[in-house]
Amino acid sequence: MNDLPMIRSSEVAAAQSSGRPVVALESTIITHGMPYPQNLTVARQVEDDLRAMGVTPATIAVIDGVLHIGLEDETLEALAQARAVSKLSRADLAACLATKGTGATTVAATMIAARLAGIEVFATGGIGGVHRGAEESFDVSADLLELAQTAVTVVAAGAKAILDVAKTLEVLETHGVPVISVGQDSFPAFWSAQSEHKAPLRMDEAETIAEAHLLRQRIGLPGGQLVANPIPQQDEIAAQHLAPIIATAHRDALAHGISGKAVTPYLLQRIFELTDGRSLTANIALVRNNARLAGEIAQALSEKSR
Protein backbone atom coordinates (compact mmCIF):
# COMPACT_ATOMS: atom_id res chain seq x y z
CA MET A 1 0.00 0.00 0.00
CA ASN A 2 1.43 3.38 -0.97
CA ASP A 3 1.83 5.92 1.76
CA LEU A 4 -0.43 8.92 1.43
CA PRO A 5 1.59 11.94 0.33
CA MET A 6 0.37 14.26 3.09
CA ILE A 7 2.22 16.75 5.28
CA ARG A 8 1.16 18.96 8.14
CA SER A 9 2.52 22.45 8.70
CA SER A 10 4.65 22.73 11.81
CA GLU A 11 1.97 24.65 13.70
CA VAL A 12 -0.75 22.10 12.86
CA ALA A 13 1.50 19.20 13.89
CA ALA A 14 2.31 20.94 17.18
CA ALA A 15 -1.34 21.77 17.93
CA GLN A 16 -2.54 18.24 17.22
CA SER A 17 0.15 16.56 19.28
CA SER A 18 -0.89 18.58 22.32
CA GLY A 19 -4.64 18.29 21.71
CA ARG A 20 -5.18 21.98 20.95
CA PRO A 21 -8.06 23.01 18.63
CA VAL A 22 -7.52 23.16 14.86
CA VAL A 23 -9.85 24.52 12.17
CA ALA A 24 -9.55 23.51 8.50
CA LEU A 25 -9.84 26.17 5.76
CA GLU A 26 -10.36 25.57 2.05
CA SER A 27 -8.24 26.98 -0.76
CA THR A 28 -10.64 27.21 -3.71
CA ILE A 29 -12.05 30.35 -2.15
CA ILE A 30 -8.50 31.77 -2.49
CA THR A 31 -7.80 30.66 -6.07
CA HIS A 32 -11.27 30.74 -7.62
CA GLY A 33 -13.46 32.71 -5.23
CA MET A 34 -11.66 36.03 -4.79
CA PRO A 35 -9.31 38.19 -6.89
CA TYR A 36 -5.64 38.78 -6.03
CA PRO A 37 -4.45 40.51 -3.85
CA GLN A 38 -7.57 40.56 -1.64
CA ASN A 39 -7.59 36.75 -1.63
CA LEU A 40 -4.16 36.68 0.04
CA THR A 41 -5.04 39.41 2.54
CA VAL A 42 -8.21 37.57 3.56
CA ALA A 43 -6.54 34.17 3.76
CA ARG A 44 -3.92 35.60 6.12
CA GLN A 45 -6.46 37.57 8.11
CA VAL A 46 -8.67 34.54 8.69
CA GLU A 47 -5.66 32.52 9.82
CA ASP A 48 -4.62 35.30 12.20
CA ASP A 49 -8.14 35.67 13.59
CA LEU A 50 -8.04 31.99 14.52
CA ARG A 51 -4.56 32.20 16.04
CA ALA A 52 -5.66 35.20 18.12
CA MET A 53 -8.30 33.02 19.75
CA GLY A 54 -5.83 30.20 20.38
CA VAL A 55 -7.01 28.03 17.49
CA THR A 56 -4.61 26.75 14.83
CA PRO A 57 -5.59 27.28 11.18
CA ALA A 58 -5.04 24.48 8.64
CA THR A 59 -5.48 25.79 5.11
CA ILE A 60 -5.62 22.77 2.80
CA ALA A 61 -4.30 22.43 -0.77
CA VAL A 62 -2.38 20.03 -3.02
CA ILE A 63 1.09 21.34 -3.95
CA ASP A 64 3.20 19.37 -6.44
CA GLY A 65 1.44 16.12 -5.65
CA VAL A 66 1.46 16.49 -1.86
CA LEU A 67 -1.63 17.10 0.26
CA HIS A 68 -0.80 19.98 2.59
CA ILE A 69 -2.63 20.32 5.91
CA GLY A 70 -1.72 23.88 6.82
CA LEU A 71 0.28 26.05 4.43
CA GLU A 72 3.45 27.92 5.22
CA ASP A 73 3.07 31.61 4.39
CA GLU A 74 5.22 31.52 1.20
CA THR A 75 3.11 28.65 -0.11
CA LEU A 76 -0.08 30.53 0.65
CA GLU A 77 1.27 33.54 -1.20
CA ALA A 78 2.30 31.50 -4.24
CA LEU A 79 -1.12 29.85 -4.38
CA ALA A 80 -2.93 33.19 -4.13
CA GLN A 81 -0.91 34.55 -7.07
CA ALA A 82 -0.96 31.43 -9.22
CA ARG A 83 -3.06 31.37 -12.36
CA ALA A 84 -4.70 28.27 -13.76
CA VAL A 85 -4.59 26.25 -10.55
CA SER A 86 -6.97 23.26 -10.69
CA LYS A 87 -10.14 23.24 -8.66
CA LEU A 88 -10.20 19.92 -6.83
CA SER A 89 -13.37 18.25 -5.68
CA ARG A 90 -13.86 14.62 -4.50
CA ALA A 91 -13.36 13.31 -8.04
CA ASP A 92 -10.06 15.11 -8.59
CA LEU A 93 -8.11 14.67 -5.37
CA ALA A 94 -6.40 11.31 -6.01
CA ALA A 95 -5.81 12.18 -9.67
CA CYS A 96 -4.04 15.41 -8.72
CA LEU A 97 -1.80 13.55 -6.26
CA ALA A 98 -1.03 10.82 -8.83
CA THR A 99 -0.03 13.32 -11.52
CA LYS A 100 2.00 15.43 -9.04
CA GLY A 101 -0.27 18.36 -9.73
CA THR A 102 -1.14 21.50 -7.79
CA GLY A 103 -4.71 22.34 -6.95
CA ALA A 104 -7.02 24.14 -4.58
CA THR A 105 -9.53 22.11 -2.59
CA THR A 106 -13.28 22.80 -2.67
CA VAL A 107 -15.52 22.23 0.33
CA ALA A 108 -15.90 18.55 -0.62
CA ALA A 109 -12.17 17.90 -1.04
CA THR A 110 -11.28 19.95 2.04
CA MET A 111 -13.68 17.85 4.13
CA ILE A 112 -12.03 14.66 2.88
CA ALA A 113 -8.56 16.00 3.68
CA ALA A 114 -9.61 17.34 7.08
CA ARG A 115 -11.05 14.00 8.13
CA LEU A 116 -7.89 12.19 6.99
CA ALA A 117 -5.85 14.59 9.11
CA GLY A 118 -8.11 14.25 12.15
CA ILE A 119 -9.60 17.75 11.94
CA GLU A 120 -13.31 17.88 12.74
CA VAL A 121 -14.26 21.51 12.13
CA PHE A 122 -13.95 23.50 8.91
CA ALA A 123 -14.81 27.12 8.06
CA THR A 124 -15.65 28.41 4.59
CA GLY A 125 -17.71 31.13 2.91
CA GLY A 126 -20.59 29.32 1.29
CA ILE A 127 -21.03 25.72 0.20
CA GLY A 128 -21.82 24.64 -3.31
CA GLY A 129 -25.39 23.50 -3.85
CA VAL A 130 -28.10 22.89 -6.41
CA HIS A 131 -27.77 25.43 -9.21
CA ARG A 132 -30.75 27.22 -10.65
CA GLY A 133 -31.96 25.33 -13.69
CA ALA A 134 -30.57 22.07 -12.29
CA GLU A 135 -33.65 20.30 -13.64
CA GLU A 136 -32.04 20.90 -17.06
CA SER A 137 -28.31 21.06 -16.28
CA PHE A 138 -28.16 18.47 -13.43
CA ASP A 139 -25.62 20.82 -11.78
CA VAL A 140 -25.59 19.73 -8.14
CA SER A 141 -22.39 20.38 -6.18
CA ALA A 142 -20.45 17.41 -4.83
CA ASP A 143 -20.28 19.41 -1.57
CA LEU A 144 -23.79 18.26 -0.67
CA LEU A 145 -22.99 14.56 -1.02
CA GLU A 146 -19.77 15.04 0.91
CA LEU A 147 -21.69 16.49 3.84
CA ALA A 148 -23.73 13.27 3.77
CA GLN A 149 -20.72 11.00 4.16
CA THR A 150 -17.75 12.75 5.76
CA ALA A 151 -17.86 13.52 9.47
CA VAL A 152 -16.72 17.13 9.51
CA THR A 153 -18.74 20.07 10.85
CA VAL A 154 -18.72 22.81 8.19
CA VAL A 155 -19.44 26.44 9.08
CA ALA A 156 -20.74 28.45 6.10
CA ALA A 157 -22.94 31.52 5.63
CA GLY A 158 -25.68 29.36 4.16
CA ALA A 159 -25.89 28.75 0.45
CA LYS A 160 -24.97 31.40 -2.08
CA ALA A 161 -27.96 33.26 -3.41
CA ILE A 162 -26.83 32.27 -6.92
CA LEU A 163 -28.12 28.78 -6.14
CA ASP A 164 -31.59 27.34 -5.94
CA VAL A 165 -31.74 27.47 -2.16
CA ALA A 166 -35.01 25.51 -1.82
CA LYS A 167 -33.65 22.61 -3.89
CA THR A 168 -30.35 22.75 -2.01
CA LEU A 169 -32.20 22.33 1.29
CA GLU A 170 -34.24 19.45 -0.15
CA VAL A 171 -31.13 17.54 -1.26
CA LEU A 172 -29.52 18.05 2.15
CA GLU A 173 -32.66 16.74 3.83
CA THR A 174 -32.80 13.68 1.57
CA HIS A 175 -29.22 12.84 2.50
CA GLY A 176 -29.76 13.31 6.22
CA VAL A 177 -27.48 16.31 6.63
CA PRO A 178 -28.33 18.45 9.67
CA VAL A 179 -28.67 22.07 8.58
CA ILE A 180 -28.33 24.28 11.64
CA SER A 181 -28.94 28.03 11.62
CA VAL A 182 -27.15 29.99 14.31
CA GLY A 183 -28.93 32.75 16.22
CA GLN A 184 -31.95 32.94 13.91
CA ASP A 185 -34.62 30.71 12.35
CA SER A 186 -34.03 31.75 8.75
CA PHE A 187 -31.49 29.94 6.60
CA PRO A 188 -28.96 32.65 5.69
CA ALA A 189 -28.32 33.52 2.03
CA PHE A 190 -24.57 34.22 1.99
CA TRP A 191 -24.41 37.98 1.19
CA SER A 192 -27.74 38.49 3.00
CA ALA A 193 -28.41 37.40 6.57
CA GLN A 194 -31.94 36.20 5.90
CA SER A 195 -33.58 34.15 3.20
CA GLU A 196 -37.22 33.27 2.77
CA HIS A 197 -36.37 29.72 3.85
CA LYS A 198 -36.45 28.50 7.41
CA ALA A 199 -33.52 26.30 8.41
CA PRO A 200 -34.57 22.84 9.58
CA LEU A 201 -32.59 23.21 12.84
CA ARG A 202 -31.42 26.05 15.04
CA MET A 203 -28.68 26.16 17.69
CA ASP A 204 -27.36 29.31 19.33
CA GLU A 205 -24.31 27.99 21.18
CA ALA A 206 -21.06 26.59 19.80
CA GLU A 207 -21.10 24.15 22.69
CA THR A 208 -24.40 22.60 21.53
CA ILE A 209 -23.12 22.28 17.98
CA ALA A 210 -20.02 20.48 19.28
CA GLU A 211 -22.20 18.18 21.38
CA ALA A 212 -24.37 17.31 18.36
CA HIS A 213 -21.22 16.59 16.32
CA LEU A 214 -20.05 14.11 18.97
CA LEU A 215 -23.48 12.53 19.38
CA ARG A 216 -23.72 11.82 15.65
CA GLN A 217 -20.55 9.80 16.02
CA ARG A 218 -21.92 8.00 19.10
CA ILE A 219 -25.03 7.09 17.15
CA GLY A 220 -22.83 5.83 14.34
CA LEU A 221 -24.08 8.24 11.69
CA PRO A 222 -21.69 8.99 8.87
CA GLY A 223 -21.53 12.51 7.49
CA GLY A 224 -21.11 15.97 8.89
CA GLN A 225 -23.19 18.96 9.86
CA LEU A 226 -23.82 22.17 7.97
CA VAL A 227 -23.71 25.13 10.34
CA ALA A 228 -25.33 28.15 8.68
CA ASN A 229 -23.94 31.31 10.25
CA PRO A 230 -25.56 34.56 9.06
CA ILE A 231 -23.36 37.39 7.80
CA PRO A 232 -23.18 40.20 10.43
CA GLN A 233 -25.97 42.71 9.77
CA GLN A 234 -23.68 45.70 9.17
CA ASP A 235 -21.89 43.84 6.36
CA GLU A 236 -24.83 42.37 4.46
CA ILE A 237 -26.19 43.29 1.05
CA ALA A 238 -29.97 43.26 1.00
CA ALA A 239 -31.49 40.42 -1.00
CA GLN A 240 -33.71 42.79 -3.03
CA HIS A 241 -30.63 44.70 -4.15
CA LEU A 242 -28.82 41.54 -5.24
CA ALA A 243 -31.67 39.78 -7.02
CA PRO A 244 -31.42 41.68 -10.35
CA ILE A 245 -27.61 41.47 -10.27
CA ILE A 246 -27.73 37.71 -9.80
CA ALA A 247 -30.22 37.45 -12.67
CA THR A 248 -27.84 39.40 -14.93
CA ALA A 249 -24.89 37.22 -13.91
CA HIS A 250 -26.90 34.10 -14.80
CA ARG A 251 -27.90 35.49 -18.18
CA ASP A 252 -24.25 36.30 -18.91
CA ALA A 253 -23.13 32.81 -17.87
CA LEU A 254 -25.69 31.27 -20.19
CA ALA A 255 -24.73 33.58 -23.07
CA HIS A 256 -21.07 32.61 -22.66
CA GLY A 257 -21.82 28.89 -22.43
CA ILE A 258 -20.25 28.56 -18.97
CA SER A 259 -20.71 25.06 -17.52
CA GLY A 260 -19.33 22.52 -15.04
CA LYS A 261 -16.68 23.64 -12.59
CA ALA A 262 -16.48 27.08 -14.16
CA VAL A 263 -20.01 28.09 -13.17
CA THR A 264 -19.44 29.08 -9.53
CA PRO A 265 -16.18 31.02 -10.14
CA TYR A 266 -17.73 32.81 -13.13
CA LEU A 267 -20.84 33.90 -11.23
CA LEU A 268 -18.81 35.12 -8.23
CA GLN A 269 -16.52 37.17 -10.47
CA ARG A 270 -19.45 38.64 -12.41
CA ILE A 271 -21.30 39.61 -9.22
CA PHE A 272 -18.10 41.22 -7.92
CA GLU A 273 -17.99 43.39 -11.07
CA LEU A 274 -21.69 44.20 -11.03
CA THR A 275 -21.62 45.28 -7.36
CA ASP A 276 -18.42 47.36 -7.77
CA GLY A 277 -16.66 45.09 -5.33
CA ARG A 278 -19.29 45.21 -2.59
CA SER A 279 -19.91 41.48 -2.88
CA LEU A 280 -16.27 40.90 -2.03
CA THR A 281 -16.38 43.13 1.06
CA ALA A 282 -19.40 41.14 2.27
CA ASN A 283 -17.72 37.86 1.39
CA ILE A 284 -14.66 38.79 3.47
CA ALA A 285 -16.78 39.74 6.48
CA LEU A 286 -18.76 36.51 6.39
CA VAL A 287 -15.70 34.29 6.03
CA ARG A 288 -14.08 35.91 9.08
CA ASN A 289 -17.32 35.56 11.00
CA ASN A 290 -17.49 31.86 10.08
CA ALA A 291 -13.89 31.23 11.12
CA ARG A 292 -14.65 32.75 14.54
CA LEU A 293 -17.61 30.42 15.10
CA ALA A 294 -15.68 27.41 13.78
CA GLY A 295 -12.92 28.31 16.25
CA GLU A 296 -15.42 28.29 19.13
CA ILE A 297 -16.80 24.90 18.03
CA ALA A 298 -13.28 23.46 17.79
CA GLN A 299 -12.51 24.81 21.26
CA ALA A 300 -15.67 23.22 22.66
CA LEU A 301 -14.78 19.89 21.01
CA SER A 302 -11.27 19.88 22.40
CA GLU A 303 -12.57 20.69 25.91
CA LYS A 304 -15.05 17.82 25.71
CA SER A 305 -12.42 15.33 24.65
CA ARG A 306 -10.13 16.32 27.53
Query: According to CB under 6 A, which one of 103, 128, 158, 295 is a site residue for ligand PSU?
Result: 128
In the complex, the smallest distance separating the C-beta of residue 133 from Mn ion, rounded to whole angstroms, is: 12
Return the exposure string of 187-226: e unless at least 16 CB atoms fall within 10 Å of the residue's CB, then b.
bbbbbbbbbebebbbbbeebbebbebbeebeeeeeebbbb
Question: How many residues make contact with ligand PSU (CB under 6 A)?
Answer: 18
Asked if 103 interacts with ligand PSU (CB under 6 A), we say: no
Residues in Cβ contact with 249 at an 8 Å cutoff, skipping those fewer than 6 apart = 162, 266, 267, 270, 271, 274
- In Å, what is the CA distance from 192 to each residue of 25, 83, 121, 125, 263? 22, 30, 24, 12, 21
Specify whether the CB–CB gap between 183 and 230 falls below 8 A. yes
For this structure, is 160 an active site residue?
Answer: yes
Measured from the CB atom, is 15 or 179 closer to ligand PSU?
179
Q: Pick from 106, 194, 229, 290: which binds ligand PSU (CB under 6 A)?
A: 106
Alpha-carbon separation of residue 74 from 7, 29, 40, 78, 117 (angstroms): 16, 18, 11, 6, 22
Residue of 29, 130, 155, 300 interacting with ligand PSU (CB under 6 A): 29
The answer to whether the beta carbons of residues 152 and 123 sit under 8 Å apart is no
Is 278 near ligand PSU (CB under 6 A)? Answer: no
Task: Tell me the closest approach of the beta carbon of residue 141 to Mn ion, in angstroms.
Answer: 5
Active-site residue (options: 47, 87, 120, 160): 160
| Residue 33 lies near ligand PSU (rule: CB under 6 A) | yes
Q: Which residues pair with 179 in a beta bridge?
A: 226
The number of beta carbons lying within 10 Å of the beta carbon of residue 142 is 16
The span of 199-207, 229-237, 250-258, 260-268 binding ligand PSU (CB under 6 A) equals 260-268
Subset of residues 120 to 139 that bind Mn ion, contact rule: CB under 5 A: 139
Q: Work out whether 107 is an interface residue with ligand PSU (CB under 6 A).
A: yes
Q: Does 164 bind Mn ion (CB under 5 A)?
A: no
Range in contact with ligand PSU (rule: CB under 6 A) among 68-76, 137-145, 166-174, 247-255: 137-145
26 is catalytic: yes
Q: Identify the helix (H) or strand (E) that includes residue 103.
A: strand 103-105
Active site residues: 26, 160
Residues that bind ligand PSU (CB under 6 A): 26, 28-29, 32-33, 106-107, 124-126, 128, 141-143, 261, 264, 268, 283
